[in-house]
């Protein structure tokens, strides 16, 4: 069974290897879409949404400078970093992170599939 959770966070970054305006410090309100796989338990849930929301929120870089988290924090690199970080924590709970979408705007996202 698949479950989907959408979270948002605000953070700033600069792209040091980019030739343009994004080389300067700027911020986004990011949207993260998580598709998580797991068996349906006896209680009828894959996992309590509240538990997963708390895990996600604790591991997203809300109000952080992304360059402290990822060397070159493009949407693609951020998506890969968070996929590994959060995927490992979900695996400890017996769940699999299937897909992570990181939206830096309403029109642009990076998608990682595992």
Looking at residue 74, what is its pLDDT? Answer: 97
Q: Mean of the pLDDT values across residues 34-54?
A: 97
Sorted by where each begins, the domain ranges of the chain are: 2-113
Looking at residue 21, what is its pLDDT? Answer: 96
CATH ID of 2-113, from 3.30.70.1350, 3.40.50.970, 3.30.479.10, 3.40.50.720: 3.30.479.10
Looking at residue 75, what is its pLDDT? Answer: 97
Catalytic residues: 22, 63, 104
Q: Mean of the pLDDT values across residues 15-19?
A: 95
Q: Mean of the pLDDT values across residues 23-38?
A: 98
Q: Mean of the pLDDT values across residues 90-113?
A: 98
C-beta separation of 37 from 96 below 8 A: yes
Looking at residue 72, what is its pLDDT? Answer: 96
| Residue-averaged pLDDT of the chain | 97
Q: Helix (H, G, I), strand (E, B), or coil: what is residue 61? A: coil
Cα–Cα distance measured from residue 9 to residue 78, given in angstroms and rounded to the nearest whole number: 13
* Confidence grade of residue 71 (pLDDT, cut at 50, 70, 90): very high
């Amino acid at each position: 069974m698949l479950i989907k959770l959408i979270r948002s966070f605000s953070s700033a970054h600069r792209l040091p290897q980019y030739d343009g305006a994004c080389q300067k410090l700027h911020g986004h309100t990011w949207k993260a879409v998580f598709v998580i796989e797991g068996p349906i338990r006896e209680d009828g849930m894959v996992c309590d949404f509240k538990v997963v929301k708390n895990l996600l929120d604790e591991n997203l870089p809300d109000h952080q400078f992304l360059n402290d988290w990822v060397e070159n924090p493009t949407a693609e690199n951020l998506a890969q970093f968070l996929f590994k970080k959060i995927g490992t924590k979900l695996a400890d709970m017996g769940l699999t992170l299937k897909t992570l979408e990181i939206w830096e705007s309403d029109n642009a996202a990076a998608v990682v599939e595992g």
